[in-house]
A and B are shown apart, each in its own frame.
Chain A
Amino acid sequence: MAYRARLKEFDDILNQDVIDLNSLRKLSFQGIPDDQGKRAKCWRLLLNYLPLEKEKWDTQLEKKRALYKQFIEEMVVMPGEKESNGDVTMGDHPLSINPESEWSTFFKDNEVLLQIDKDVRRLCPDISFFQQPTEFPCLEIVNSNDIKRLHTRVQRRVLNCANVERKGLGITKIALSVKKACEDYAPMAEGKEAHWEVVERILFLYAKLNPGQGYVQGMNEIIGPIYHAFASDPDILFREHAESDSFFCFTNLMSEIRDFFIKSLDETDHGINKMMNRMLVQLKNSDMDVWLRFQQLELKPQYYSFRWITLLLSQEFPLPDVLRIWDSLFSDESRFDFLIYVCCGMIVILRNQLLSGDFPSNLKLLQNFPPMDVQDIISKAVELSKQKIF
Chain B
Amino acid sequence: MAKKTYDLLFKLLLIGDSGVGKTCILFRFSDDAFTTTFISTIGIDFKIKTVELGGKKIKLQIWDTAGQERFHTITTSYYRGAMGIMLVYDITNEKSFENIVKWLRNIDEHANEDVEKMILGNKCDMSDKRTVSKERGETIAREHGIRFMETSAKANINIERAFSELAGAILEKTAGREPGDPADRVYVDRRQQPSTTKSCCN
Contacts and interface: CB of A to CB of B under 8 A. Distances in A.
Is chain B found bound to chain A in the same assembly? yes
Interface of A: 115, 118-119, 122-126, 156, 158, 177, 179-181, 184, 216-218, 220-221, 261-263, 266, 302-303, 306-307, 310-311, 315, 356-358, 360-361, 363-364, 367
A125 B38 contact: yes
A181 B72 CA distance: 31
Given A118-B19, A306-B74, A221 B46 contact: no
B40 A220 contact: yes
B202 to A, nearest CB: 26
B46 A367 contact: yes
Contacts, number: 85
Nearest to B48: A360
Given A156-B92, A158-B128, A177-B128, A363 B40 contact: no
A356 B38 CA distance: 31
A357 B2 contact: yes
B36 interface: yes
A122 B70 contact: no
Given A158-B128, A184-B37, A217-B66, 9 more contacts: A125-B35, A181-B126, A217-B71, A220-B40, A302-B74, A303-B46, A306-B44, A358-B2, A361-B2
A360 B63 CA distance: 11
Contact of B42 (A115, A315, A357): A315
B48 to A, nearest CB: 5
B197 interface: no
A361 B47 CA distance: 10
Contacts of A360: 46, 48, 61
A125 B37 contact: yes
Nearest to A160: B128
B44 A122 contact: no
Contacts of A184: 36-37
Contacts of B66: 217
B76 to A, nearest CB: 11
For the side of the interface on B, what is the size category? 20 to 34
A244 B158 CA distance: 46
Interface in B125-156: 126, 128-129, 131
Contacts of A115: 18, 68
Q: Which among B35, B40, B61, B67 has the greatest number of chain A C-beta atoms within 10 A?
A: B40
A218 B128 contact: no
Given A181-B129, A218-B40, A221-B39, A367 B2 contact: no
A218 B46 contact: no
B109 interface: no
A221 B18 CA distance: 16
Contact of B39 (A125, A216, A358): A125
Contacts of A356: 1
B72 A263 contact: yes
A179 B128 CA distance: 7
B16 to A, nearest CB: 13
Given A360-B61, A361-B2, A367 B40 contact: no
Contacts of B18: 115, 118, 217
B196 interface: no
Contact of A216 (B35, B48, B70, B74): B70
Interface string B67-81: 111111110010000
A357 B45 CA distance: 18
A366 to B, nearest CB: 9
Interface in B18-40: 18-19, 35-40
B40 A217 contact: yes
B194 interface: no
